[in-house]
Structure 1
Amino acid sequence: MENKTDVIVIGAGLSGLTAARKLEEAGYSVKVIEARERVGGRSFTHHLADGQVLDLGGQWIGPTQTKMYELCKELDLELYPTYNEGKIILYDNGKKTLMGSNNGALPKLNVFVLLGLGLTIKKVERLVEQIDLDEPWNHPKAKIWDGETLDSWIRKNTKIKKVREYFNIVSEVVFSTEARDISFLHFLFYIKSGSGMDNLLNIDEGAQKERIIGGTQEISVRLAKKLKGEVFFNNPVTRIEQSETGIKVFSREQFWEAKKVIVTLPPTLAGRITYQPPLPGMRDQLTQRIPAGSVIKIQVIYKTPFWRKEGLTGQAVSFTGPIKIVMDNSLPNDSRGVLVMFMEANDGREASEWSIEKRTQKAIECLVIYFGQKAADYLEYVEKNWCDDEYTRGCYGGHFTPGVWTGYGKHLRKPIQHIHWAGAETATVWNGYMEGAVRSGERAAAEVVEILCG
């Protein structure tokens, strides 16, 4: 085996494969080392018995995600819109109400609550506009905002219980963790990174606007096929050794040598690799402070999308769990109906302790409450518990706890001798999303090319 190359990329997800492609385009040899038996990372497409596919990882793309749209066009991948016709179910305190699908990020609540919610959102949006995505820690109030959680800020800025509950659901939906766990500065950064709250939460002209025929993992599959260099599967990296002249990367069974390495793993997983010499203390402490969210993604398949005939979008929003968000995930050119839902944050952690039979039961019970008894007559239940995934350990991405941005933020992307960092958590635009992963891969590749060219 020829184990020498110009650059080693660790991780065959969107970030790693994008970086590898850019490096090859610049004329450098690349080897990609992947722990799993597949490409795609947190984009993972499940194949049903008849060949149809369901995305059990990241799946939606929308406006301003230009890199993803460019990739889909280049790789001849077709898109189709997320179904959004009809009414949305809002479930609160045992009461089910309907609201239009054009309400945006605002649910159907009483006038007093809506007014308070609107004012709070406007206040957040004014602060979001002030954030520098490249250096959020440099804002004059950065230490103040980074010293409190989203929950503590909301409690200080509104006395309306339902407004506080709304923001906690936003936290669970966007970060798959509670508002008490997230730095308020990180919340502001993330909202700006994703082009605003409406864009993050909406379907039409929002981040959930479209899906990819064949599944999002197909992007990684096609990118990998275009590479000249080899992708080494089933090789979790255990050690990285640096010297003045280059770098060695070791798995349990092999090793490779290169001039540079790009690590595209989530920060917590990157921190589990042994480095020689050891990483600087600030970088290592950073990896200890960006935990992944907790989520189980569930898809329930029906003979038909029966909710559509009842004038429903298939979407449900509930203030109580364990299923708080449901969407229509039916496939194009298929008569069956599919509902996708999530057990997130504390609900996800609790459900991880249940048997799959209990999770199935609880999910169907929620669907029956939202959509009626027809929801009990399903064909198949499919789930992916990302907390249990050995090489992910949680989704949707890593979130910054209080004090991390101002204490460690400048070390997030800073190269360490021959090591460069990529991955969705390092992105400035669309942080935590597939778009951000692609952008981070391009950025890290450009860093390496600039040095090697010099």
Structure 2
Amino acid sequence: MSEETINPKRRTLLKGALTLGAGAGLAACGRSSPLATADAATPGTSGSYSADVAIVGAGIAGLSAARRLAAAGKSVYVVEARDRVGGRTLNHAVTAPGASPGTIVEIGGQWVGPTQDRVLALIDELGLKTFKTYDDGNYLDYRNGQKLAYGHLLPDPLNLGLNRLPPTDPVGAAEAEKAILQLDQMAQQVPLDAPWTAASAKAWDSMTFQTWIDQNVLTPGGQSLITLAIESVFSVEPRDTSLLHVLFYIASAGTLENLINTAGGAQDSRVVGGSQRISLAMAAQLGNRVLLGAPVTHIDQDESGVTVRGEQFSVRARQVIVAVPPTIAARIRYNPILPALRDQMTQRMPMGSVIKVQCVYPKPFWRDGGYNGQVTSDTGPVRITFDNSPPDASVGILLGFMEGSDGRAASTLTADQRRQATIDCFVRYFGNDAAQPLDYIEQSWMNEEWTRGCYGGVFAPGAWLDFGAALRAPVGRIHWAGTETATVWNGYMDGAVRSGEAAASAVAALL
């Protein structure tokens, strides 16, 4: 994939825990079925097909690739294991009393923001609209058993950012802001198309991000905020990934502030009607070229082409694009087998751990108290929240995330236990008005067969150094796409679009 440049937004100061960027744009989690499927082939695909290009995966990356190839006059088939399109994006109908007809929440990836140029352009091309994430009012920070509002408390006529630091621990927040600026500067040294070639790559990829925190952030408050930032962006613990991977991810988005901020950042806006509409609209354009209910079990290459097959179907093509997470791609059987470095790379890129939880209320009552619904907390299992209400506010919806270790522990609980744990957190932050939701919605992508985690795949220490070159390199007629392969906005819907379009361009040049 060719390196692309982005125009970083003006740097903003830390908003406490920065209304942390919970949810890399492609993930999250809720308990429900999709609202709709595209006008595609009947689920449970069977039969034999042929095309110039076969594409595995009908998420944003795979459908973007198919759309570009079809526009270039190439024949395509997209094969999808699920009975729906959208990958890690999924809409959920809200049917609680008072909700306007057609109200939805996203139980997968949902946000878009400035500098995410390709997904924003695609949204416009498809005739879809966006609306701003609710960000009016004060933030809440819950720390050491104390709850404190911040964000609009002090006069700041010179816009010095006086209201962006959490009053609960100003020393820790100041140290966290210093650490963020340091990470931004280090990230500028990481080549997006080859992170392993950075001058300090060996040192940076040989340590976990937790080691870097221990060496560079001294106060407990500062360590807590930086840890929460990493958990909210990656849904893993700082001990799980390398410093180099974190720096690459920051460079991919421009700055860490871009990743964690709401207004002007990665959580800036949502798609009217839900983010799954992006995939539904692309699939509708492709029509019966999208084959649902078609898990791929084998990909066989020979001198004249490639055969993609499952238990009841096969697609013969000249080239194939595999647009699923690397860990899922590794479960396909390849003939001939993949090169050792490619296979071992997939063994070192596990998915994050997150459960997305949402409670529906008669109205967004927190707004009446002057709050924007955004909480950062040192107490779990829900330590990040957002106002996820529909544009008309016909009902109020609080969104929370159980991430990293909290998500892993919560995955062993029953749904009723997670529901109560979520409500307990919301009551802790917003009072007894949160105690009796009209509905509870959850989704654990860890338990989703064709994803097995979110927000995306994360490289373990040492993986970029020895295996990074295998992430995007084609293997014969097999090409790779998916947000994990993107150089710009890696892990987000924008990265998925870019990766699909880049793979399509590379394949088209070979046909």
Under TM normalisation by the shorter chain, which class is it?
Answer: over 0.9
Quote the residue 1:81 is aligned against: 132
Residue in structure 1 matching 2:223, options 158, 164, 175: 164
Residue in structure 2 matching 1:44, options 90, 106, 109: 90
Matched, 1:67 2:118: yes
Give, in whole Å, the separation in 2 of the partners of 1:209 and 1:158.
28
Q: 1:267-286 counterparts in 2 under 5 A?
A: 267-286=326-345
Please identify, of 442-451 and 226-235, the stretch whose mean Cα deviation from structure 2 is larger.
226-235
Q: 1:75-224 counterparts in 2 under 5 A?
A: 75-100=126-151, 106-224=165-283
Per-residue deviation, 1:109 = 4.3
Per-residue deviation, 1:161 = 1.7
Give, in whole Å, the separation in 2 of the partners of 1:85 and 1:244.
60
Please tell me the residue identity of whatever aligns with 2:336: P
Quote the residue 1:401 is aligned against: 460
Please list every run of 5 or more consecutive structure 2 residues that lacks an aligned counterpart in the other structure.
Answer: 1-46, 96-100, 153-160
With normalisation by structure 1, the TM-score equals: 0.97
Please identify, of 352-361 and 98-107, the stretch whose mean Cα deviation from structure 2 is larger.
98-107
Give, in whole Å, the separation in 2 of the partners of 1:339 and 1:25.
40
Question: Is the 2:320–2:478 Cα contact (8 Å) retained in structure 1?
Answer: yes
Please tell me the residue identity of whatever aligns with 1:350: A
User: Which of structures 1 and 2 has the larger relative contact order (alpha carbons within 8 angstroms, sep 6+)?
Assistant: 2
Structure 1 ranges of 4+ moved more than 2 A: 48-51, 101-119
SS in 1 for 2:50: coil
Per-residue deviation, 1:122 = 2.1
Q: 1:298-317 counterparts in 2 under 5 A?
A: 298-317=357-376
With normalisation by structure 2, the TM-score equals: 0.87
Number of equivalences: 452
For 1:224-275, what per-residue CA distance to the aligned partner results, in whole angstroms no more than 9, with x for missing partners? 1111651111111001100011001111111111000000010000000000
Please tell me the residue identity of whatever aligns with 2:228: I
Please tell me the residue identity of whatever aligns with 2:130: L
Per-residue deviation, 1:119 = 2.3
Per-residue deviation, 1:111 = 3.8
For 1:73-97, what per-residue CA distance to the aligned partner results, in whole angstroms no more than 9, with x for missing partners? 1111111111111111100111111
Matched, 1:225 2:284: yes
Question: Is the 1:293–1:394 Cα contact (8 Å) retained in structure 2?
Answer: yes
For 1:371-406, what per-residue CA distance to the aligned partner results, in whole angstroms no more than 9, with x for missing partners? 001110211000111110000100000011101111
Taking only the aligned residue pairs, the percentage that are identical comes to 47
Per-residue deviation, 1:334 = 3.6
Q: Using a 3 Å threshold, how does the CA distance of structure 1 residues 262 and 106 change in structure 2: closer, same or farther?
A: farther
Please identify, of 92-101 and 137-146, the stretch whose mean Cα deviation from structure 2 is larger.
92-101
SS in 1 for 2:341: helix
Give, in whole Å, the separation in 2 of the partners of 1:347 and 1:265.
26
Determine which structure has the larger helix proportion and give its number: 1
Question: Is the 2:173–2:225 Cα contact (8 Å) retained in structure 1?
Answer: no
Give, in whole Å, the separation in 2 of the partners of 1:426 and 1:440.
6
Question: Is the 1:246–1:258 Cα contact (8 Å) retained in structure 2?
Answer: yes
Per-residue deviation, 1:158 = 2.4
Quote the residue 1:386 is aligned against: 445
Question: Is the 1:87–1:100 Cα contact (8 Å) retained in structure 2?
Answer: yes
Give, in whole Å, the separation in 2 of the partners of 1:68 and 1:293.
23
Quote the residue 1:30 is aligned against: 76
For 1:278-301, what per-residue CA distance to the aligned partner results, in whole angstroms no more than 9, with x for missing partners? 000000000111000011111110
Please list every run of 5 or more consecutive structure 1 residues that lacks an aligned counterpart in the other structure.
Answer: none
SS in 1 for 2:210: helix
Please tell me the residue identity of whatever aligns with 1:68: V
Give, in whole Å, the separation in 2 of the partners of 1:109 and 1:199.
24
Per-residue deviation, 1:48 = 2.5
